[in-house]
Amino acid sequence: MIEFQNVSFSYDTQNPVVEGLSFTIRKGEAVGLIGANGAGKSTIMKLLLGLLSGQGEILVDDLPVNRQNLPAIRRKIGYVLQDSDNQMFMPTVYEDMTFGPRNYGLSQEETDQRVDKILEKLGIEKLKHCYNHKISGGEKRMAAIATILAMEPEAVLMDEPSTALDPVNRRTVINTIRSLPQTKLIASHDLDMILDTCQRVILLSHGKIVADGEAEVILRDKALLESNRMELPFCLQGPR
C-alpha cells in the first residue's frame, strides 16, 4: 500500500534528514518506526503525507505523492499527531470529529452516524459533547484517534501515540491500536508498545534504515538496539 523508493530529504544540503530510504508496507500491516531522536521518524510521516517534499518517489496505492494526488492520498491516510492539542482545534470533540468527514463532502446525517459509530467502537461516547480543553490527556488522545477514524482512512499514521499517558490510558490506547484493522505506521520510542501493536519494525539511524524485519526479532536484539541509542523493551529486560 505504501512504497518508498530511494527517498531523501534535507533542510540544507549538508545534513540529510533521511537518505535513500526504500521500503514497502503492505495493506493491513502494522509497522513500528523506531530510532533515536532526530533519526527521521516524523519526517518520514510528513513526506508520506506531502507535508514535506524530497527526492525519490513515494507511492500510496500506486499513486505518487505529488500536489495533484494529495487530496486523494490524504483521504486514504489518517495522521494522529504527537500533541493532541495541535490536532483538536475545534471547541468540542464532536465538532472536531465532524471536521474531516464534512470537508470530504459527507452529509450531516452520514457524518453524525459515523461519529456515533466510532465513539461507540472506542467506548468514549461520553466525550461526544465535551469541550476539548476540559478533557484529560488520555481522553484527548482517544478523541484525537477518533477524529482520524471518523474519516475512515485506509491507513493510520501515529506519532508517539503513548507519550505522556498514565499506564491505564496507555493500555487503552494500545488496545485501541490493536483493534484497528487499517494499515498502521507507528513512530515511537515506547518499544513495549511497538512490540504489543506491530508485527514489523523499521529501525532508523541518522535518516537511514538500519534494520527492517519482524518486531519480535529486532526488539530482542540488544546489541543492535544499543548500537542505535535504544534499549530492549522493559518487558524483555528481565528482573533487575
Partner 1 sequence: MDKLTKARSELREMDALAAGNSPVHLLYPLSKLAVTVAYIVFVVSYSKYDFSGLMIMVLYPVLMFQASGIPVSLCFYRLRLVLPLVCAVGLVNPILDHTPLIQLGSLVITGGWVSMVTLMMKGTFSLMASFLLIATTPIDSLCAALRKLYAPGILVTLLLLTYRYIGVMLEQVSVMTEAYRLRAPGQKGLHISAWGSFLGQLLLRSMDRAEELYSSMVLRGFRSEFHYAQAPPCRASAVVFAAGCIGLFFLARMVNIPALLGSLIVR
Site residues (CB under 8 A) for partner 1? 49, 51, 71, 74-75, 78-79, 81, 83, 86-87, 89, 91, 95, 98-100, 102-104, 108, 131, 133, 147-148, 151
Cβ distance to partner 1 smaller for residue 53 or 227: 53
Least distance to partner 1, CB of residue 88, Å = 8
Q: Least CB distance from residue 233 to partner 1, whole Å?
A: 29
Q: How far is the CB of 101 from partner 1 (least distance, A)?
A: 8
Residue 52 C-alpha cell reads as 514535506
Residues 199, 214 contacting (CB under 8 angstroms)? yes
Shorter beta-carbon distance to partner 1: residue 144 or 203: 144
Shortest Cβ 163–partner 1 spacing (Å): 15
Distances (CA, A) of 49 to 91, 100, 150, 211, 238: 25, 15, 18, 23, 39
The cell 541518522 sits on which residue? 206
Q: In this structure, which long-range contacts are made by residues 109-116, counting pairs with CB atoms below 8 Å and at least 24 apart in sequence?
A: 111/150, 114/150, 114/152, 115/150
Of residues 54 and 233, the one with the C-beta less far from partner 1: 54
Q: How far is the CB of 159 from partner 1 (least distance, A)?
A: 11
Nearer to partner 1, 75 or 206 (CB): 75
Give the residue with the Cβ less far from partner 1, 72 or 217.
72
In angstroms, the CA 195 to CA 236 distance is: 10
SS3 40: coil
The set of residues, in sequence order, having a beta carbon less than 8 Å from that of 129 and lying 6+ positions away, is 92, 93, 94
Q: For partner 1, which is the closer residue by CB, 85 or 166?
A: 85
Nearer to partner 1 by Cβ, of 52 and 224: the residue is 52
Give, in order, the Cα–Cα distances in Å from 157 to each of 2, 39, 136.
11, 17, 22
The residue count of the chain comes to: 240
From first CA to last CA, the distance across the chain in angstroms is 42
Instruction: Quote the least distance from Cβ 106 to partner 1, whole Å.
Output: 9
- Shortest distance in whole angstroms from residue 145 CB to partner 1: 13
